[in-house]
Chains A and B, each alone.
Chain A
């Protein structure tokens, strides 16, 4: 399909390991967002990419979290030295920039479990 694609869909890892999550946005969408959703809660903004501009990293909870995006394509979110509190669903969304009548389109998320 033409939606936002995330992988893996589920990831279980041991505390202290590094993980890498991937997001393929909708083709043509210049804006890409990462959010975190803890169980039973709303979404927490992590980071935003817009084209080749410097990303907005204001939502990253610690320096263990980082993300990259090449141009307007794939993004990866990396969590180093994972902790149990990192367990959550990580959602990626994309949208057309500067077209405010369009919603953000979300992927199905990566469910991360830290043992």
Chain B
């Protein structure tokens, strides 16, 4: 059974600081997704990582994938309040089902 673990689960950081969210998974996969969820809202796709060494950047967020280590990171640079949200990683192990297995989420709060 695929397990996807995120850490930390809760993160408070001050504006302007940098931090990294980690996503570990237990089964071979080369497809990993990052989503953002604002309170009471649905999930918004941030990044799609499709191969070992993939790196994607959008604004203050950068995601990477190391399939050998079964690890993805979401790095936050110079955080701003608007980044406060819950961030989920999700792994696709392929096959016929194509469902995603989600981590528990990291609740990020950026403090002024």
A contact residues vs B (CB 8 Å cutoff)? 31, 33, 35, 41-45, 48, 50, 56, 58-59, 91, 93, 95, 97, 100-109
Binds A, one of B11-19, B60-68, B74-82, B102-110: B102-110
Q: Give Cα distance in the complex from A53 to B33, angstroms.
A: 25
Interface size on B, residues (CB 8 A): 24
Q: Give Cα distance in the complex from A91 to B45, angstroms.
A: 14
**In the bound complex, do residue A101 and residue B98 qualify as a contact, i.e. CB atoms below 8 Å apart?**
no
A48, A102, A103: residue with the most chain B Cβ atoms closer than 10 Å: A103
B97, B99, B100: residue with the most chain A Cβ atoms closer than 10 Å: B99
**In the bound complex, do residue B97 and residue A56 qualify as a contact, i.e. CB atoms below 8 Å apart?**
yes
Query: Residue on B with the closest CB to A6?
Result: B42
**In the bound complex, do residue A107 and residue B99 qualify as a contact, i.e. CB atoms below 8 Å apart?**
no
**In the bound complex, do residue B99 and residue A33 qualify as a contact, i.e. CB atoms below 8 Å apart?**
yes
A29 CB to nearest chain B CB (Å): 12
